[in-house]
Structure 1
Amino acid sequence: MSRLTELLRQARKADEQLGKDLEAEIVALTKRRTFGLVFEQHQPEAVELPGRAVRRGDKVRVLPPRGEVKQGDQRLWRVDRIERVDGTRVAHLSEFEAEQPEQPEQQSALVEDVVVVAEFRDRIYPGLVETGRVERGGDKPFHTVINAENYHALEMLTYTHRHSIDAIYIDPPYNTGAKDWKYNNNYVEGDDDYRHSKWLAFMERRLEIAKELLNPEDSVLIVTIDEKEYLRLGLLLEQIFPDARITMITSSITPGGSTRSGTFNRASEYIYFVQVGTSAPMPLPLSAEWNPVGTKNKQDLYWARLIRSGTQPFRTTHPNLFYPIYVCQTEGGEGTFHSIGDPFYGDGWENASAPQGTTAIWPIRADGREGRWQISPNALREAMSGGFVKLGPWKQKQTTVYYLKQGERAKVANGTFSIVGHRPDGSVITDGSAYQARFVPTDIWRITAHDAGNSGSRLVEKFVPARKFPFPKSLYAVEDALRFFVKGKPHATVLDFFSGSGTTAHAIMRLNKQDSGKRQCISVTNNEVSAEEQRGLRKQGLRPGDPDWEALGICDYITKPRVTAAITGETPQGDPIKGDYRFTDEFPMAEGFEENAAFFTLTYEDPLSIRHHRAFERVAPMLWLRAGSRGRVIDDLGEDGWDVAEAYGVLENIDQMGDFVARVAEVETVETVFVVTDSDAAFQMTCRDLPARVTAVRLYESYLHNFMINRRARA
């Protein structure tokens, strides 16, 4: 590509327009994946929306008869009209994108036997319906659990959280071939020739939107994976995040290993850390099993040898750092400093005179060659005045000189190591009994807490007894991975759009308890029922959307109950959770957490209803999310046409602007307001009167514009 860039430069120099035209063609070619990771893009995914009412013009599928186990007709149909016949609603359908568009196949079906379908190339206008909440955290922001197809949920979050997510942790399907994920409404089997290509297309669509949500200044994407797709995932991440720093960790999750036929047993998985902007893992005090070989939790400062080692250790490169240090030896064999000489240039240093009663210590290396000190005479005098230079034991009328570097001196200055006395040479004696070393670990993790059996499957069973979820992550593994990046961000927003059993939200609650943080987690999962359970449910005549079916879906059956149980300390049956949390923070699970959580289901709205303010109740939770997920949701503006909650306000009746602005000024925690108006002049007038701390957003122009832009960008 560098050669191509140079040729383009020459072309622009010779003919500017020709250069621009060539560059445009090359950009078009690169977008077709001629360079980089190449895979089939496949037809756009589609998701069935069983809870969505059928309307004229909708795209639908016709469901198989109740009791039928086999998959029904997968063709898409358009609803031409709906009529009522003998008390039932009948939909008249035309085949969508028929082979002969002028003569599409037509049929009729009961409305209850068709399901609305949303393809990912379609523009959506999302809303949210709250399905419950639990409150134990006072004024803390709410964790949120969203029941939705995660691609559409990510699209929704571009309106509420674009460029504002601090960390994303995801555990996507590993593509094992064991019916662990669907592509376009079908499970991807192990013998599918396009299995890997479908997985890449599936992941690329979601990661592209995730990139828009991450804070470009400082954020991290964490992705776990196993050997089935880790190579392709690595290339895909490099392609989507070309400017990020990407590191892959090997993490032991099954110490005993799981048997695999014909090859080595599997004991580990891989974790990709995609560090965006200035993101970097924070050095932390960690347990002994994290410590690299030879590292101990020091109880004393590190005194470095003053003589230079490593690069450029000789007098010839730094002659100004070749000087004597004069010391006295006491009768007890201790040494004390007398003075520091000036740099010695030229030959004859061996015969240089020393003050009476002192010995000159020169930077002579063990092999007899002339070395040099680490710092200048003046810098050494300054360090000595603070007690940061000391002498070692005497050997053959010589001693070793040690000093504290700036990082170690800072530990004394900030009180990490308290001074409890001084040695005869004037150096400080410190107490480091409370000190715990901080470091960033290596890229191989073998940590007891990360066992997916004890800290994953068996732990989840404590919170939702008798409810099975396949392969949940270790709670402590997720907690540890995130800790390196959000420990210093007590108000971080964390997203998991493959949230499964809700481990990431659980981990954030533990991190909050450890340092009184107010981090919040957004968890996205669908309400899919496992492949094994689906067959039995269909034999019973049930379908997606039926209450008995939905009650067994991941979100309603596992995620929401687990998050609730973690907060309350009680199982869904009302029993105290048995056992204690372990490792970093040990306490009874029955204590729960002082946290808040709210649960939502994604809806699909009509743009005309949005524009005419007839869908405010479903848009309202999105405004609450955008304002920080704090306090109550404003879902009814009342007779006055405005309301102000703890974090935000909404104004629909411009005639009441004065009262609204006055109330916003009174509630000092309000940072965002939404103004419902088609008038730019009215919006600007409201903005002028609002306090400086407040950000104003215009409804519904901002909402509609956001989702029109999304679809154009991904068309």
Structure 2
Amino acid sequence: MTEGIAKLGAYNKKRDQWAIVFLKKKQKEQLNDGILVSRGRDTDGSLILEWNDDEEIDKEPKSMWVRDCHDASTYGTNLLSKFLPKRNFPFPKSLYAVEDVLKFYVGENKDALIVDFFSGSGTTLHAVNLLNAEDGGHRRCIMVTNNEVSESEAKVLTKQGYIPGDGEWEKLGIARYVTWPRTVCSIEGHDANGKPLKGNYIGSDIPMADGFKANAAYFKLGFLDKNAVALGRQFKELLPVLWMKANCIGPCPNLESDELPKMLVLSENKFAVLIDETYYSEFDAKLTEHPEIQTIYIITDSESAYREMIRSYEGKDCYQLYRDYLDNFRINTGR
């Protein structure tokens, strides 16, 4: 056709037939509206079409997208190998496919928090950092993954006498072998061997070797005994959780000593913890000196005492420990 909106597709030898590929009604409308634009004609006279990134596209994404940059082999598997040479991960997603999904849902929210509970190779965080680099955003991402090894690796390790938990086993798990190394390499701009990355991110021409202006922290999620928590014996282990609940501001604090202080007023992290409620007066005076504190934790078994102590902290996020923590993770047994 002279319009260039149809062409011959693949040839079926068994049926001795050619497939015909043509623009559907919706695509014709997008071409007329400038959402799809013609970049010339192919050798067979058909139009070469691209999405016009400057035009507003439907807010509801379709179930299937057909864009070269969404190819999982080239921009998933092959791209991952640039960061982690000779490390295998089955079917990583295209970096640019994930970035386009983020643009649909949080493109206009530059302070969004994205949570990926099945992070696998770490494509989501990588895409968040790339999107932030492109539009000056401050989006954050929390990735959660296990540290399982593949079935074939498990068989080899078992034959060698290793079991889950052994160092040789754990270092080949998804989190430690793929997810975290990719995160570090993409942020710092080098591969797992320390060599600067080659090439640019497509669409933005940002050099991969430049990395990203981003921070990342690694935490191992474990189980705590609820009775030990209730007795205040695992505060040191809970401190990263309190930091995350207080919006992950500044470097995650840690206690060098096992002996608990009476209170913590962490101005850099914008949260404070009253550990010994008998020191409330001193704690309250310190908070007056630090108006930047936005999150307050008070450890007490008394609901009435807790309510009395937080009366003057209007506009701040307050939590009673360890009740709020235990209630948050309690499984409802129906009894």
Please give the range of the TM-score, normalised by the shorter of the 2 chains.
0.7 to 0.9
- Of 213, 221, 224, which aligns to 1:602? 221
Tell me, yes or no, if structure 1 residue 704 matches structure 2 residue 322: no
- Asked whether the 8 Å contact 1:644–1:664 carries over to 2, the reply is no
- Asked whether the 8 Å contact 2:200–2:206 carries over to 1, the reply is yes
- Of 179, 185, 200, which aligns to 1:580? 200
CA pair 669-439 structure 1, distance change in 2 beyond 3 A: farther
- Of 295, 308, 313, which aligns to 2:33? 295
Instruction: Give the C-alpha shift of residue 493 in structure 1.
Output: 1.1
Alignment of 1:582-661 (within 5 A): 582-583=202-203, 585-636=204-255, 639-645=261-267, 646-661=269-284
* Counterparts of 2:67 and 2:291, CA distance in 1: 45
- Of 39, 55, 62, which aligns to 1:437? 55
- Of 522, 530, 538, which aligns to 2:142? 522
Which amino acid letter does the alignment assign opposite residue 292 of structure 1? Answer: Q
- Asked whether the 8 Å contact 2:263–2:283 carries over to 1, the reply is no
Which secondary structure state, in structure 2, belongs to the residue aligned with residue 506 of structure 1?
A: helix
* Counterparts of 1:439 and 1:667, CA distance in 2: 47
Which secondary structure state, in structure 1, belongs to the residue aligned with residue 296 of structure 2?
A: strand
Instruction: Give the C-alpha shift of residue 571 in structure 1.
Output: 2.1
* Counterparts of 1:698 and 1:453, CA distance in 2: 50
Q: C-alpha offsets along residues 433-462 of structure 1, whole Å, 9 cap, x if unaligned?
A: xx9322227624111110101110011111
Which amino acid letter does the alignment assign opposite residue 97 of structure 2? Answer: A
Tell me, yes or no, if structure 1 residue 499 matches structure 2 residue 122: no
* Counterparts of 1:595 and 1:658, CA distance in 2: 39
- Asked whether the 8 Å contact 2:261–2:275 carries over to 1, the reply is no
Which secondary structure state, in structure 2, belongs to the residue aligned with residue 674 of structure 1?
A: strand
* Counterparts of 1:693 and 1:462, CA distance in 2: 47
* Counterparts of 1:662 and 1:472, CA distance in 2: 52
Instruction: Give the C-alpha shift of residue 698 in structure 1.
Output: 0.1
Q: 2:22 maps to which residue?
A: none
Instruction: Give the C-alpha shift of residue 659 in structure 1.
Output: 3.6
Q: C-alpha offsets along residues 534-576 of structure 1, whole Å, 9 cap, x if unaligned?
A: 1111111111110011000000000000011111112232221
Q: 2:15 maps to which residue?
A: none
Instruction: Give the C-alpha shift of residue 685 in structure 1.
Output: 2.6
Which secondary structure state, in structure 2, belongs to the residue aligned with residue 508 of structure 1?
A: helix
* Counterparts of 1:599 and 1:589, CA distance in 2: 22
Tell me, yes or no, if structure 1 residue 460 matches structure 2 residue 66: no
Alignment of 1:354-393 (within 5 A): none
User: Unaligned stretches of 5+ in structure 2?
Assistant: 1-9, 11-26, 37-52
- Asked whether the 8 Å contact 2:265–2:287 carries over to 1, the reply is no
Alignment of 1:49-128 (within 5 A): none
* Counterparts of 1:706 and 1:496, CA distance in 2: 20
Alignment of 1:166-565 (within 5 A): 292-296=30-34, 436-440=54-58, 443=62, 444-565=64-185
- Asked whether the 8 Å contact 2:35–2:57 carries over to 1, the reply is no
CA pair 664-633 structure 1, distance change in 2 beyond 3 A: farther
Instruction: Give the C-alpha shift of residue 682 in structure 1.
Output: 2.7
Q: C-alpha offsets along residues 219-271 of structure 1, whole Å, 9 cap, x if unaligned?
A: xxxxxxxxxxxxxxxxxxxxxxxxxxxxxxxxxxxxxx9xxxxxxxxxxxxxx
* Counterparts of 2:264 and 2:206, CA distance in 1: 45
- Asked whether the 8 Å contact 1:675–1:698 carries over to 2, the reply is yes
Q: C-alpha offsets along residues 40-79 of structure 1, whole Å, 9 cap, x if unaligned?
A: xxxxxxxxxxxxxxxxxxxxxxxxxxxxxxxxxxxxxxxx
* Counterparts of 2:296 and 2:231, CA distance in 1: 19
* Counterparts of 1:669 and 1:571, CA distance in 2: 39
* Counterparts of 2:249 and 2:234, CA distance in 1: 22
* Counterparts of 1:529 and 1:500, CA distance in 2: 12
Instruction: Give the C-alpha shift of residue 652 in structure 1.
Output: 0.7
* Counterparts of 2:151 and 2:67, CA distance in 1: 33
Of the two structures, which has the highest relative contact order with CA contacts closer than 8 Å and spacing of 6 or more? 1
Instruction: Give the C-alpha shift of residue 614 in structure 1.
Output: 0.6
The farther-off stretch of 641-650 and 486-495 is 641-650
Instruction: Give the C-alpha shift of residue 643 in structure 1.
Output: 2.7
Aligned length: 287
Which amino acid letter does the alignment assign opposite residue 293 of structure 2? Answer: V
Which amino acid letter does the alignment assign opposite residue 554 of structure 1? Answer: I
* Counterparts of 2:241 and 2:308, CA distance in 1: 25
* Counterparts of 1:667 and 1:518, CA distance in 2: 25
Which secondary structure state, in structure 1, belongs to the residue aligned with residue 30 of structure 2?
A: coil
Which amino acid letter does the alignment assign opposite residue 277 of structure 2? Answer: I
Give the structure with higher Rg (CA): 1
* Counterparts of 2:290 and 2:205, CA distance in 1: 39
Q: 2:20 maps to which residue?
A: none
Q: 1:352 maps to which residue?
A: none
* Counterparts of 2:109 and 2:291, CA distance in 1: 23
- Asked whether the 8 Å contact 2:189–2:209 carries over to 1, the reply is yes
Q: C-alpha offsets along residues 253-304 of structure 1, whole Å, 9 cap, x if unaligned?
A: xxxx9xxxxxxxxxxxxxxxxxxxxxxxxxxxxxxx9x93333269xxxxxx
- Aligned residues: CA RMSD: 2.4
- Asked whether the 8 Å contact 1:579–1:588 carries over to 2, the reply is yes
Q: C-alpha offsets along residues 14-50 of structure 1, whole Å, 9 cap, x if unaligned?
A: xxxxxxxxxxxxxxxxxxxxxxxxxxxxxxxxxxxxx
